Amino acid sequence: MPRGTGSSPPSRLWSNNMQAMTFVSRGLSLFGGKAGRIGAMIRAALSVLGSDVKVFLPFLLLFLVKAGRGLLALWLLYLGFVTQDWEQAFSLMLLYLVYLPFEIILQTFLQAMMSQMTRDTLIEGRISWASIAGVLTRHLFTLLFIGAISYFVRRASDSKQEGFFGFLVALLVFVVAEVWDLVSNFGIAAIVVERAGIKTIVARLKELRANVPETLVGVLGIDLVGGVAQAIFAGGVVLGLFGGGAVGYLFADQLPQMFLAQFGEVPVNTLPSLAILALSFTVSAFIAAATVLAKSLYFTCLYIFANDHKELPEARSQDLKDALLQGKPEV
């Protein structure tokens, strides 16, 4: 192939990532006009950052970590139903119990990493690994604190209560979780962009809310849209599991015997069901990581434009403003 033709692997990787986000954003439009605007906002924020594939690294790491938790659960199911190796299952169960707090704390650091990458790309024009390491080191305990609070909020959100009182508690926890999600995302952006303390973060939150209230309301819908998408996909997975179980029963002897399980007197090959669950965990991990990516990108861009836009090159300042307005309702 002649020199200068074709596209390099990093360029193709970025193109594929942009196409994936385009697919996600178009899928969001199925949930209504506001969700569609959020999807457009995500694509616009990505386009502002240019073609540096390193910006996508935190998302890929977070996706792998979240998918790893799902695959670990899948391995536990395999050990429990197929091999019945309880000794190995017990040790992996202990690992699974500590996996979630590790994942959430790591997610906090990856959000800070993404925020610093976004800030460096927009203002400096290049990513500085030294700046990333410096931010993560200087604000180690603050990020650990944010991650710990996020974990406890997640645990509270996962707890189930029955009855009318349980409904009220669940509603209260949902509101607290959304408020904390907003505060933590803007807090990380403030720490990275402005090296802000608690008082500065509170003041900046008030300013941002006063400047672009419609946009903030739209951003809060990202979690809801992601949750609805996961719920719809989960419904299809449940139906698929029934079909997978039927296939595993009918073709128990034809499928690989290492997946054969005995349910009483009935032999069932678990390969189809485990494959469907693996697909489910992988897609769910992608949606969850994409949600974090969208919020980290957008909140950092919004913070820079509202508080630090004078440091931006003039062309990028206008591009950033146009990107942020993608999420604003039409009037």
In the prediction, which pLDDT does 107 show? 94
> Which segments in the chain show pLDDT lower than 50?
1-10, 13-14, 31, 34, 212-215, 327-331
Distance CA(159)–CA(157), nearest Å, equals 6
Element containing residue 22 per DSSP (H, E): helix 9-28
SS3 293: helix
Q: Is the pTM of this model over 0.85?
A: no
Question: Number of C-alpha atoms within 13 angstroms, CB side, residue 36?
Answer: 8
Which residues are bridge partners to 267 per DSSP?
262
In the prediction, which pLDDT does 4 show? 42
Distance CA(79)–CA(91), nearest Å, equals 11
SS3 253: coil
Cα 48–chain centre separation: 20
Distance CA(272)–CA(262), nearest Å, equals 15
Which residues are bridge partners to 263 per DSSP?
266
| 8 Å CB contact between 109 and 143 | yes
DSSP 56-82: GHHHHHHHHHHHHHHHHHHHHHHIIII
